[in-house]
Structure 1
Amino acid sequence: MSRPWRVAVVGGGIAGLAAAVRLRDRAPAGTEITVYEQSGALGGKLRTGELAGQPVEFGAESFLMRDPAGGESAAVTLIRRLGLAERIVHPTVGQAALAVDGGLRPVPGGTLVGVPGDLERVATVARPAADADRDGGRPLLGPDEDVAVGTLVRARLGDEVVDRLVDPMLGGVYAGRADDLSLVTTMPALARAARVEHTLTGAVRAAQAAAPRAPGAPVFGTLAGGLSTLVEAAATASGATVRLHAAVRELTPTSEGWRLTVGPTRDPELVEADAVVLALPARPAARLLAPVTSEVATTIGGLDYASVALVTLALPDPELPALSGFLVPATEGLLIKASTFFTIKWGHLARPDGIALVRASVGRYGDETSLHLADPDLVATVHRELSGVLGVALPAPLASHVQRWGGALPQYAPGHGDRVAAARTALRAAHPTLVLAGAGLDGVGIPVCVRSGETAAGEIIEALGGSGS
């Protein structure tokens, strides 16, 4: 007797929700999809809150409009699928600055995540090494080579370019250090170009040329009303049964698929599924994988994470420059590593009463002692440092919010991509109906996570045979 497929999606972040939507769109009619989320809310690091009566992002702020090849990003495609395209808005101010030598300097143009394609354009911020970027007669990287971003850039351009440009740019995205992060995972287009080009500046220009962007075309977008609208729309479109406060504690293979142990130890619930998408951070995923395949669990569980705090202030009529925000190199010795002027950057958030929303990010990988501060101390320190960087005494905040994201940002060491590929190959061979997705494997950013979830859904459909049994 035939019956519908039963697919469990473990993890209700955007990767898991994208997987659920793709399953609904492409799996056979009647497929039963259940999303299990340990916390009390869907969305993971997409969280729209409210401060001083206005919506504001307490997590991810925006998404890339284009994919690395220059086409529409997976996030935009999903937004169109969900009927939210008319809500897409773009920054009205795009120029950001770097806080160096006690002042703000515009981020130079022509760089790729801070790596310059033209050394003269970055001279106002960082001095390249005297013998910078000589052509050595061969490609910068071998066919399968991966290195830390900082290792390559320091060798080619010197320390100051890394410390003042590349490190703060990567730190703003990953809360990590250029000397620790994989080039292939964090900057795949540059890595591809570096396997052909003989100079780093040449590789930057080649990577930029490979993904052309129309003049004036927006790089980033967000949704009017907040990114939580994306979460809500995806959950609805998936038609999935959503289980909140539902921790999956064990995963056991059975003759017909999988048995999930859900809920508290004293009163567990056993659920049967034909296939499972694990859209979890690396360590929780590894705990579930350990009894199933210790080899894959060890590989996945070895990924480290950084913790951050986002401090948002509502300021009455502050003196703010016409910037989207600024980045802070670690060498400046400040607690904050980045700041966004929300009501300047995003014109749709501008308020007639002059109240400005300003957010600062705190916490770097390997140096997270600042996160031990209590919320009022974090707010006071951020307010003081913002005043110092801007050179004005900012007014006292009318309201503030501290959002802590513990273990939120994956740190991809060189070779990460190869390790993940090997783990997935081993898992697919042994258990094709158990598939991994999420930022811990494939990279940060909403488009990457959406694509990761959609790919996982496709693998599930293929593993189950393309039609209900």
Structure 2
Amino acid sequence: MTTIAVVGGGISGLVAAYRLRTRLGPDARIVVLEESGRFGGKLRTVPIADGPVDVGAEAFIARRPEVPALLAELGLTDQVENPSSARPLIWAGGRLHPLPAGTLMGIPATSGSLAGLVDVDTVARIDAEPSVPLHWDRGADVSVAALVGSRFGEQVVRRSVDPLLGGVYSGLADTASVRATVPALAAALDAGATSLTEAVGRALPPPSDAPVFGTLRGGYGVLLDALAAASGAEFHAHTAGASLRRSGCRWEVDPVGEVDGVIVAVPADRAATLLAEAVPAAATQAGRIPLASSVVVALALPKEAALPDNSGILVATGEDLAAKAFTLSARKWPHLGAREVTLARASFGRFGDAAIVDADDDQLITLARADLATVSGVTDQPVAAVVQRWHGGLPQYRAGHLEIVAELEAAIAGVDGLEVAGAMLHGVGVPACVQSATTAATRLLATVAG
């Protein structure tokens, strides 16, 4: 009987277990170890007021194929919900602005998209940028802040780029690699774009009427439950992979024992610890990937709460607010807008700001209410509230991240029966994690089943 250990019970680990089961059949033994008391990793659906709410990731990029294909396999396509036409706002300079259209992760192709959000000097600088010589090293990587700041100025970085990067990575443009976080922009520059303006114009996706995002009516918990059931795996909560070492042609995983193969699907710091003895070169690279912590406060407000008719409010860097963003869930998702309460979420925490995660629940709820009142005028007392902390929730893709990942994967590639997967590699979103897990399972099967 083939035995595989999957260390990590987040979305990557669950997808890996499911992929292994579909290929190995019912007789294989697949064991999933999870250090925490629950499975799903940074995805979690909880009951609040009259129904379920996601307090981790709440959406997926619908234009990527991985999640729709997985949902179809599991018979969950009818769970998909599309967003409303409501647009997000940005809080900058103490007031609300429309989210700039026609940008690439907040980086504009023209000054017109940022009119009103930045001052007239910055507008003039954007307009003049194509005439300023650009020095781009095709083999190097820099932070988004360094590139955009040098070409368009600090206001563009802090008021347009940071709010979007903060929502995706819980970081800032300073800790975001151009190549890892805006690869289309890097490709346009590598291909010879003579200005940042030209590069953004080349990199922007073509217009489309298709929804950019999707979500699940019952929350991500529906997908997690379906994956767990379809994997037929043994699940062990409160059980970390304590050690990993080679045992002849097999692997010794504490506390499972000998197995034929292992997929490591845990955050970068845990991967560094687990791989230290077996593949020290890979462990060293995993240890170079820093993690950011964050908090989500989900609020169920009275039905009459007058939230703006917008999908969310992003907060520029340097504003006098504790929150970094608000999701106006009742306005963003029609199925949530039909609930008996008005749902909203406040997000806190960026890389280097771990203290906010340690605030107590009452303090965080108070901050969420105060900041929501500042940006929206809504002061209603919540009917219910849930606080979810994500310690080390998101890896930071700093300049040079792709080189780190390449060296990590090269070290793993030389070792039979061992693979890695997860958000620390090629993307932090759910589609990227699904792809990472699928790739890891496919590679492992090539050696174990070969």
Letter in 1 for 2:331: I
Alignment-derived partner of residue 407 in structure 2: 422
**TM-aligned CA deviation for residue 162 of structure 1:** 0.5
After TM superposition, the structure 1 = structure 2 runs for residues 38-437 of structure 1, keeping only pairs within 5 Å, are 38-67=35-64, 72=65, 74-127=66-119, 128=122, 130-132=124-126, 133-135=129-131, 141-196=136-191, 197-209=193-205, 212=206, 214=208, 216-262=209-255, 270-316=256-302, 317-351=304-338, 353=340, 355-390=341-376, 392-429=377-414, 431-437=415-421
Assess if the C-alpha contact under 8 Å between 2:86 and 2:309 holds in 1: no
Residue 427 (structure 2) pairs with residue 450 (structure 1): no
**TM-aligned CA deviation for residue 124 of structure 1:** 1.9
> 1:372 & 1:21 partners in 2: Cα distance?
35
| Alpha-carbon displacement from aligned partner over 1:133-191 (angstroms, at most 9, x marks no partner) | 225666x6433221101111111111111010001110111111101211111112222
Deviates more, 1:297-306 or 1:163-172: 297-306
Letter in 2 for 1:239: G
Specify whether residues 460 and 225 from structure 1 end up closer, same or farther in structure 2 by C-alpha distance, changes over 3 A only. same
**TM-aligned CA deviation for residue 40 of structure 1:** 2.1
Residue 438 (structure 2) pairs with residue 441 (structure 1): no
For normalisation by structure 1, the TM-score amounts to: 0.91
Aligned residue for 1:44, secondary structure, equals coil
**TM-aligned CA deviation for residue 256 of structure 1:** 2.4
**TM-aligned CA deviation for residue 201 of structure 1:** 2.2
**TM-aligned CA deviation for residue 333 of structure 1:** 2.3
Task: Say how many residue pairs are matched.
Answer: 444
> 1:75 & 1:389 partners in 2: Cα distance?
33
Deviates more, 1:140-149 or 1:295-304: 140-149
> 1:428 & 1:400 partners in 2: Cα distance?
46
Assess if the C-alpha contact under 8 Å between 1:329 and 1:337 holds in 2: yes
Assess if the C-alpha contact under 8 Å between 2:9 and 2:32 holds in 1: yes
> Which protein is richer in helix relative to its size?
2
Assess if the C-alpha contact under 8 Å between 1:110 and 1:116 holds in 2: yes
For normalisation by structure 2, the TM-score amounts to: 0.94
> 2:335 & 2:378 partners in 1: Cα distance?
26
**TM-aligned CA deviation for residue 465 of structure 1:** 4.9
> 1:368 & 1:226 partners in 2: Cα distance?
27
Aligned residue for 1:388, secondary structure, equals helix
Name stretches of at least 5 consecutive residues in structure 1 with no aligned partner: 263-269
Assess if the C-alpha contact under 8 Å between 1:282 and 1:441 holds in 2: no
Aligned residue for 1:109, secondary structure, equals coil
| Alpha-carbon displacement from aligned partner over 1:275-294 (angstroms, at most 9, x marks no partner) | 10000001111111111122
Assess if the C-alpha contact under 8 Å between 1:135 and 1:198 holds in 2: no
Assess if the C-alpha contact under 8 Å between 1:19 and 1:457 holds in 2: yes
Assess if the C-alpha contact under 8 Å between 1:93 and 1:322 holds in 2: no
Aligned residue for 1:381, secondary structure, equals helix
Alignment-derived partner of residue 28 in structure 2: 31
Letter in 1 for 2:10: G
Specify whether residues 43 and 155 from structure 1 end up closer, same or farther in structure 2 by C-alpha distance, changes over 3 A only. same
**TM-aligned CA deviation for residue 24 of structure 1:** 2.2
> 2:118 & 2:49 partners in 1: Cα distance?
39
Letter in 2 for 1:51: I
> 1:96 & 1:11 partners in 2: Cα distance?
34
Assess if the C-alpha contact under 8 Å between 1:95 and 1:323 holds in 2: yes
> 2:86 & 2:210 partners in 1: Cα distance?
12
Deviates more, 1:145-154 or 1:18-27: 18-27
Aligned residue for 1:400, secondary structure, equals strand
Name stretches of at least 5 consecutive residues in structure 2 with no aligned partner: none
Runs of 4+ residues deviating >6 angstroms: none
> 1:141 & 1:455 partners in 2: Cα distance?
32
Deviates more, 1:184-193 or 1:317-326: 184-193
| Alpha-carbon displacement from aligned partner over 1:401-433 (angstroms, at most 9, x marks no partner) | 11111111111111111111112112221x121
Aligned residue for 1:179, secondary structure, equals helix
Assess if the C-alpha contact under 8 Å between 1:51 and 1:399 holds in 2: yes
Assess if the C-alpha contact under 8 Å between 1:193 and 1:203 holds in 2: yes
> 2:332 & 2:67 partners in 1: Cα distance?
20
> 1:42 & 1:142 partners in 2: Cα distance?
43
Overall identity of the aligned pairs, in %: 41
**TM-aligned CA deviation for residue 5 of structure 1:** 2.2
Aligned residue for 1:349, secondary structure, equals helix
| Alpha-carbon displacement from aligned partner over 1:40-72 (angstroms, at most 9, x marks no partner) | 2211111100111221111111000123xxxx2
> 2:422 & 2:96 partners in 1: Cα distance?
35
Deviates more, 1:24-33 or 1:320-329: 24-33
Letter in 2 for 1:182: S
